[in-house]
Amino acid sequence: MQKNWFTKKSMIGIGIVIIVLFLFLRSCGSEGESGDEATFNVNRGPLTISVTESGTINFRNQIVIKNEVEGRTTILYLIREGVKVKKGELLVELDASPLQDRLVDQQIRVENTQAAFVRARENLDVVKSESASSLEKSELDLRFADQDLKKYIEGEYPNELSKAESDITVAKEELSRAEERLKWSQVLFNEKYLSQTELQADELAAKKARLSLDQAVSARDLLVEYTHTKRLAELESNAKQSVMALDRTKKKTGADVIQAEADLKAKDSEFKRESDKLEKLNKQISKTKIYAPNDGLVVYPTSGKGFFSFSEEPLQEGKEVREREELIYLPAADSVLAEVKLNESLLDKVKIGLPVRITVAALPDQIFTGKVFSIAPLPDAGSGFLGSDVKVFNSEIYIDKSGGALRTGMSCEVEIIIAHYDDVLYVPVQAVTRHEGQPVVYVRRRGGFEPRQVELGLDNNNMVHIKKGVEKDEEVWLTPPIEAMVFNDSPDSLSENLQDALDEAEKNPLQDPVSPEIKLPDDPEKMLEKLKEEMGDDLPEELQDIDIKEIMQDAPGDVSITPPN
């Protein structure tokens, strides 16, 4: 009996607890009607969406004067900080004596390299001239060798061969006449008309003619077979040697010229390098005196760095400064900006070009205007210096004409105007909460507050733009419950939840009951009657005829149903 009672009626009792809790909270809402809850009437009108950040005034256009002397140098003269200077006025003088000593040595090196350069240049002219002469002579030798070969082949050899043939022909004629004379002399000698001496003379003449013919033939054969071959080979060889000699001359003269040009180029490079060093030394010496490039106010870098300059030695006469070290700032007083650090949560709102209003603590009666000029692409590396996980992004706000009133280092408040609406609905940001992941506001209705889903626009950390979901003058709750404690559901939703609980109790009755304690609010009967009036037929059948007194009287001894204190 106890188990069946707990299985059925305890679940109904639990449902009643939910109902009376609903009524209890509803009654709290009813009390709100008397003005206990903080509310706000939805307003319509102009709304400015902006974010405010602290910043520091700095000069937008300032000339940073750095030490351009290499190494480390000592300051001999330094203009006082805060002095207004004119263009061309001496600001800093550095020690130039070590540079002067190096300058003398460098001038000697330049003169030596210049003399070597001149010698190399003259030597190149000589080499070019000699190369041209050698090349011309070789070309002439080749031309003469070709001419000699052609002259021999086409002139000398044919003439010599023709002369040899002519000598043979003459020798043959002389031999024929000598032999004919000898023949008649022999006849006459036989007839005793000539003497022996005359016959012998004719015989000698015939022999001489035969010898002359033999010599002429031999001379021709020697010319054709030996002299011509040797002479032709000799002349052809001379022509080939002349070609090779010309090629060697070309290569040698080319190499000589290239070598001379390379030597000249090397000497020229050395001369220029030393000259550049001399020019650089002169420039370095000239940079030991730094003059104001324009009018401005002298500011030392250590003054502009504020807290972070505590570890740096103050700029003063006698101090050693390194190359590229900042010496003086010359800001233009009529061109300023505000440096701010934007929280990472604002990056989706703040864009470059948005208008800005700036107020300066030192000038409370003035409001300056400007615009967002730049937002750093990466967070400030020092944003986590103090252990904070929040990232900030360095940004620059260009300020319009300031009239020279602003000074570097001044603190300021920067209000960035994200958007401005002339006529929109808005409520305080604290009136908006989330239910089931959606933005809702609690709108007052009969008996309490009703959650209503809304579409949000931008907010300025004070008011939020409501695009749709509420109407003007509707009253919204400024302290809505968090999502996990929402009890102001509609009667339909509550009825469905109770019916689901009862169905679950039918399917899965408790098998091993314990001794529960059910606490009810004060006067649950009255609250239940009120719920019946409001929900009507939507109230589950199991709860229509429930008698809370009967349930409490029939409850077993180990079940405690008591109202709370």
CA pair distance 88, 101, nearest whole angstrom: 27
Q: Is 420:46 a contact under the CB 8 Å cutoff?
A: yes
CB proximity list for 252: less than 8 A, separation 6 or greater: 131, 134
pLDDT of residue 287: 93
Do 108 and 20 have their domain in common? no
pLDDT of residue 334: 65
pLDDT of residue 388: 62
pLDDT of residue 21: 47
Do 27 and 164 have their domain in common? no
pLDDT tens readout for residues 186-236: 777 777 776 777 777 777 877 887 887 778 777 787 877 887 788 878 888
Do 103 and 245 have their domain in common? yes
CB crowding 330-354: b at 16 or more within 10 Å, else e: bbbbeebbbebbbeeebeebbeeeb
Of the residues 286, 310, 344, which one is the last residue of a structural domain? Answer: 286
DSSP string, 135-189: HHHHHHHHHHHHHHHHHIIIIIHHHHHHHHHHHHHHHHHHHHHHHHHHHHHHHHH
pLDDT of residue 495: 47
pLDDT of residue 385: 54
Do 10 and 126 have their domain in common? no
pLDDT of residue 450: 85
Do 28 and 121 have their domain in common? no
91 domain residue, yes or no: no
pLDDT of residue 349: 84
Host domain of residue 516: 1-33+488-565
| Other Cβ atoms closer than 10 A to 170 | 14
Give backbone dihedrals phi and psi of 405, rounded to 5 degrees, phi first. -80, -25
538 domain residue, yes or no: yes
pLDDT of residue 4: 47
| Other Cβ atoms closer than 10 A to 203 | 16
495 domain residue, yes or no: yes
105 domain residue, yes or no: yes
3-state secondary structure of 314: coil
pLDDT of residue 114: 92
3-state secondary structure of 557: coil
Do 144 and 14 have their domain in common? no
pLDDT in tens, the chain (565 residues): 444 444 445 555 555 555 544 444 444 443 334 345 788 999 999 998 888 899 998 888 778 899 999 999 999 999 998 888 899 999 999 999 999 999 999 999 999 999 999 999 999 889 888 888 888 888 888 888 888 788 877 887 788 777 777 777 887 777 778 777 777 777 777 777 767 777 777 778 778 878 877 787 777 878 778 877 888 788 888 888 888 888 888 888 888 888 988 999 999 999 999 999 999 999 999 999 999 998 888 888 876 554 444 446 778 888 999 999 999 988 765 678 899 999 888 888 899 999 999 999 888 888 999 999 999 998 887 765 545 677 889 999 998 877 667 777 789 999 999 888 999 999 999 989 887 888 999 998 876 788 889 999 888 878 899 998 899 989 999 888 764 333 334 444 444 545 555 555 455 544 444 334 444 445 566 666 766 666 666 565 556 666 666 655 555 444 444 444 3
pLDDT of residue 384: 57
pLDDT of residue 75: 93
213 domain residue, yes or no: yes
Do 29 and 102 have their domain in common? no
Do 107 and 256 have their domain in common? yes
Of the residues 286, 316, 344, which one is the last residue of a structural domain? Answer: 286
Do 26 and 159 have their domain in common? no
DSSP string, 66-77: E--SSSEEEEEE
261 domain residue, yes or no: yes
Identify the CA nearest to 426 among candidates 51, 50, 52, 49. Answer: 49
CA pair distance 521, 96, nearest whole angstrom: 95
384 domain residue, yes or no: no
pLDDT of residue 94: 93
Identify the CA nearest to 327 among candidates 56, 76, 60, 57. Answer: 76
Do 23 and 122 have their domain in common? no
Do 102 and 201 have their domain in common? yes
pLDDT of residue 2: 46
Residue 170 is part of a domain; what is its CATH number? 1.10.287
CA pair distance 353, 419, nearest whole angstrom: 12
216 domain residue, yes or no: yes
The number of domains in the chain is 2
CA pair distance 468, 158, nearest whole angstrom: 124
Of the residues 286, 309, 326, which one is the last residue of a structural domain? Answer: 286
pLDDT of residue 282: 93
CA pair distance 356, 373, nearest whole angstrom: 10
Do 2 and 144 have their domain in common? no
pLDDT tens readout for residues 42-56: 999 999 888 889 999
